[in-house]
Amino acid sequence: MEPVLEVRDLKKYFPITRGVWQKTRGMLKAVDGISFDLYRGETLGLVGESGCGKTTAGRTIVRLYEPTGGSVRLHGQEIFSLSEREMLPVRSQIQMIFQDPYSSLNPRMTVGDTITEALEIHGLAEERRTERVGELLEMVGLGQEMAGRYPHEFSGGQRQRIGVARALAVQPKVIICDEPVSALDVSIQAQVINMLEELQEKLGLTYLFISHDLAVVRHISHRVAVMYLGRLVEVAPSDQIYDNPLHPYTEALMSAIPIPDPKVESQRRRLILTGDVASPIDLPPGCRFASRCPKVEARCHQEEPAMVDVGGGHSVACHLVV
């Protein structure tokens, strides 16, 4: 299969400035050379602890942040070289659902106006817009009669459904889901996840699902990519990465997933990481995880491991595995 989205060596650095003259004193390497493919109809889960660069990667892919380096191809078209005007038709193919359903909606605009704005920007005929808004609200489990209400009149789960409707308005093929359920109650999370799966099956959508909730990612994802300090350390089919993690960091992450059975939970071994997280401003040579790795060797402090395919669609960046 040809990938829908190809990400190659993606980088996003933020300058560190100080003083009245805002002189640059260094660069924070939020995303530092990640590569992956997304295929039609699949969900790729992007996981890692807070601050590893997951959200920055998603926002850079859709060019909410301008990239420092790398390449992103959507249906074979390089999008980083396009002007803002040339990006307009591309943006109809790739959309984003944001983490916070409270701040991602304009409180002074009705739900109908929020969705209509996207339709207007992308040139849908005016006489068709009201009908399309109603279709979208029905699609996400809200009635079209709610189009005249304001965001404060909805619950958190309903607001996130509105965010999904806005993302679907221009019929995209790829949606970047940036922790779309992390701000919701657990019972509401399940409803939104099930809705996303139903929409994917119905519309043939492709998701990049960014989350720190490993249980949710296992449920929704076909493949999982693990990120640490701006780099990918392991990519594999969902079952493989949960049942047979190869990278020491992935092992520690998987051991942290709670099991809702007190007997099983009390008998399993939890991997507790020690040591300090390296600074993304002043990264040490070698493996970025070396300062916390329980299996570290001398080589790990000198050479940065490359991502290597170990078979079965499973890739890992670790000297101890390859």
| Buried b / exposed e along 110-126 (16+ C-beta atoms within 10 A) | bbbebbbebbeeeebee
Structural domains of the chain in order of their starting residue, each with its CATH number: 5-93+172-316 (3.40.50.300)
**pLDDT value of position 267:** 65
Per-residue pLDDT of the chain in tens (322 residues, 90 and over written 9)? 789 999 999 999 999 887 777 777 789 999 999 999 999 999 999 999 988 999 999 999 999 999 999 999 999 999 999 998 899 889 999 999 998 888 889 999 999 999 999 888 887 777 788 889 999 999 999 988 999 999 999 998 999 999 999 999 999 999 999 999 887 888 888 899 999 999 999 999 999 999 988 889 999 999 999 999 999 999 999 999 999 999 999 999 988 877 766 766 666 677 788 888 888 888 889 999 999 999 999 999 999 999 999 999 999 999 988 6
**pLDDT value of position 261:** 65
**pLDDT value of position 5:** 96
* pLDDT tens per residue across span 276-293: 888 888 888 999 999 999
> Is residue 180 within 8 Å of 95, Cβ to Cβ?
no
pTM for the predicted model, two decimal places: 0.92
**pLDDT value of position 228:** 95
Query: Taking the mean position of all CA atoms in its chain, how far away is CA 266?
Result: 32
Helix, strand, or coil (residue 33):
strand
